[in-house]
Amino acid sequence: MFPDGPVVLAEMVSRLEHALAVSPAEATEISWLEVRRGQESTGKRRRDSYELHERSVLVRVRESGRTGMYRTSAATLSDLENAVREALAQARLAAPSPPPLDRRRGLGRVE
């Protein structure tokens, strides 16, 4: 199970929007994934049925030409804010990354 239980979609969207709104980075991207995996047995003697719940939140930021990422399984508001701060710290320590591609021309930065 999730450490803090499953989160209702509307509540999670609200938390993610808040984390995006308070992010001081030039660009912020948050990916949220919840997975439920399981197995059922039809055997008469075996009882190997189980169900696993997994959550993954990936925060990626772009700051001063540098990219930082941070992954967590927590989903509280403070945990999401901390994930943004951790991604910013990673970006500040990272080497400069190339500029994003210009999708119209398939080239780097257009001058």
Give the mean pLDDT of 60-70.
94
Residue 66 has pLDDT above 80, yes or no: yes
The answer to whether the CB of 62 falls within 8 A of the CB of 25 is yes
Provide the pLDDT for residue 91.
96
Give the mean pLDDT of 1-9.
71
Q: Is 13 helix (H, G, I), strand (E, B) or coil?
A: helix
pTM: 0.74
Phi, psi of 22 (to 5 degrees): -90, -5
* More confidently predicted of 69 and 102: 69
Model pLDDT for residues 87-108, shown as the tens digit of each residue: 999 999 999 988 766 666 554 4
